[in-house]
Structure 1
Amino acid sequence: MFRYIHSTGVVVDDIDAALAFYVDTLGFEKRIDNVVDGGFRFVTVAPVGGQTEIGFNPGNDGDTIRTPPIAFIVDDVNAACDLLRTKQVEITYGPADEAWGGRGAVFLDPFGNECYITTA
């Protein structure tokens, strides 16, 4: 069901400063830089040639839109959710079509951590 880890997230106070650090200082490449629902800027970086990306979650307050801290690539989001439900895993979002064109869902691990699943 799970193919690989797509991304993990870090909280940053300034997305442009984070981009400068990860791209200019560490030599990573910018993979995604899109504005989605409600003006939320979704940005990811990765080591050149790397598969797993780091997504930037802006701010530290409870009012800030946050993405789940880890995202997994699956072959079929609906089928993955169906299988997770058979294992009594709570799906808190989706499956749904996303503004960026993909399909996704969010489930909780036993400790309440959100995990995002999507297709490549």
Structure 2
Amino acid sequence: MIESGFPIVEVPDMDAAMRFYHDALGTAVVYRYPVEGDPVFVTLQAGASQLGLGLAENATAGEGAGMLLWFYLDDVDQATAALEAAGYLVIEPPDDSPWGERVAMVSDPFGTRVRLATRIDPQPEEE
């Protein structure tokens, strides 16, 4: 039986990945290997969750790769605007969803889709 798990995104360029996931999204580095020099693996704390970044020369991502990352933020509009200003692709601008969240979709530097969301108060009533 599985006890726990966390996603690891394989990336061809760790510096570009860190600029997006650490610098732009504001995660915290909790582990890096090796400790000195250029990392080949990093674990990031993203709120209550963790995300791994692993250097993989031939890593591929993008539409059709079968992976979507989802992060809840305090302010999806501000985060999306900051990512766009930093040059990242906004696939879907922030919009209110029928399930009670404000959501946007951006792309990391390698084409991995990243959904950003903020819960809306009040939640829609169930029918």
Give TM class, smaller chain: 0.3 to 0.5
Which fold has the larger relative contact order, with Cα–Cα distance below 8 Å and residues 6 or more apart in sequence? 1
Q: TM-score by structure 2 length? A: 0.42
Structure with the higher fraction of residues in strand conformation: 1
